[in-house]
Amino acid sequence: MATTNLSIYDKTTIPNAKNFRFGIVVSEWNPEITENLYLGAKEALLENGALEKNIIKWDVPGSFELIYGCKKMIETQKLDAVIAIGNVIQGETKHFDFVCEGVTQGIKDLNIKYDIPTIFCVLTDNTKQQSLDRSGGKHGNKGVECAIAAIKMAALREI
């Protein structure tokens, strides 16, 4: 688990996002966590020059559906980067392991197949409190970190 505030970064090192278009696909499962991650990501994109009209948000039912949502967004929207936002919390069954593995591999596959970076913003924590701490709590907001990654990867595409 992170021990620093994820929301702290040096704005002078971030490319201007004014000319980039971003997609954000958000899982509806654990919305008190995923919506906070989305708000953190959107705010960071806007603070670094992205235009509101160039940020597209789609909702999907759960983290496993992020893969298809991101794939469809890449195929139908003209984007420079996509952020996949989800949350999976450890339970008493192996379901956690299967979902985490599937989502991780699916997002990896999207990065291999398409020339649009897909950023992994899926919290996979042992407890709900850990997820709350990383989605706007004492460890900041992982959504901010992922938005910064999206900006940097969008800029990398231009090389």
Catalytic residues: 95
Q: How far apart are alpha carbons 75 and 34 in whole angstroms? A: 23
Q: What is the CA radius of gyration of the chain?
A: 15
